Amino acid sequence: MQQLAKGLIVERVRAVFNDRARGERPVQRRDDGLFGRDSVAWRVHGDVTSMMVGGVAALLLQMLHPAVLAGVWDHSDFRRDMLGRLRRTARFIALTTYGSREQAEAAMARVREVHGRVRGALPDGTPYSADDAELLAWVHVTEAVCFLDAWRRYGEPAITMAEQDRYFAEVRVVALGLGAADVPDSRAQALAHIERVRPRLRADRRTREVAGILLNQSPRHWAALPLQQLTFQAAVDMLPQWARRMHGLRQSTWTEPLVHRGTLGVARLLRWAFR
């Protein structure tokens, strides 16, 4: 019975992150990739629950940058296929973390090709481009900070500061491979980077619409709705207060311990299923 339950859980999770219509299968872990089994990145990126929480929090932070929002608004099918966007991001992270060096470099090349076509103008006329080195650094830094913070909260609270710095130094190679510049290689540098960019962040009607579609999307199966709502609230709770305020989102306040314990429970269940 346990094996059957494990199999069902694993099958459902893999279906979310792998588009079978496109022939996608789970990425196999390889020792000839960018990192290796002894890396901090393998630990952080290998936990389904904390990566989902961190990924949603990262998207909410990223879209506060007007150029990131414009790229999503002008060039993506987010209204009809938000799951597809999340799935493509998750697969890129899996390939660059666990795939061979050849797979990782091919994945980065595909993203660079897509970014080269994503350009336009903000509502005030300011031009933007997805391959802008500073913009790429913003996306990378917010992603890395949120992934690591979610792992600290739901996976490894005792992770040392030295290992946290090592994580930023490791994943920096992916950002550089995509064309980012001035990429932090420590936690302190990453947090300082966010503070430097913060005065340029904005939230408007379009931001609220994209965030609303992200947070209110329907799951693939109705039974997953409570888990999805729990994960998304955990992501909102993890945001800095100033970011929640810009989005007009509420922290779970008195229910926060319940959200935290519930998310921990989901994380333990999924680790048990994949073990």
Query: pLDDT for 123-170, tens place per residue?
Result: 999 999 999 999 999 999 999 999 999 999 999 999 999 999 999 999
Tell me what percent of the residues of the chain surpass a pLDDT of 90.
68
Measured between alpha carbons, how far is 96 from 118 in angstroms, rounded to an integer?
Answer: 22
- Closest Cα to residue 161, out of 15, 40, 78, 2? 40
Asked if 94 and 30 count as a contact pair (C-beta separation under 8 A), the reply is: no
- The predicted pLDDT at position 254 comes to 55
Q: What is the pTM of this model?
A: 0.90
Query: pLDDT for 60-108, tens place per residue?
Result: 999 999 999 999 999 887 777 777 778 888 899 999 999 999 999 999 9
Residue type at 142 in one-letter notation = T
- Closest Cα to residue 233, out of 208, 206, 260, 212? 260
Domain ranges of the chain: 2-274
Measured between alpha carbons, how far is 43 from 46 in angstroms, rounded to an integer?
Answer: 5
> What is the separation of C-alpha 55 from the centre of its chain, rounded to a whole number of angstroms?
2
Q: Which two tokens stand for residue 247?
A: 């989005």
Q: Can you tell me whether residue 201 is helix, strand or coil?
A: coil
Q: Report the pLDDT averaged over residues 13-17.
A: 62
- The predicted pLDDT at position 266 comes to 78
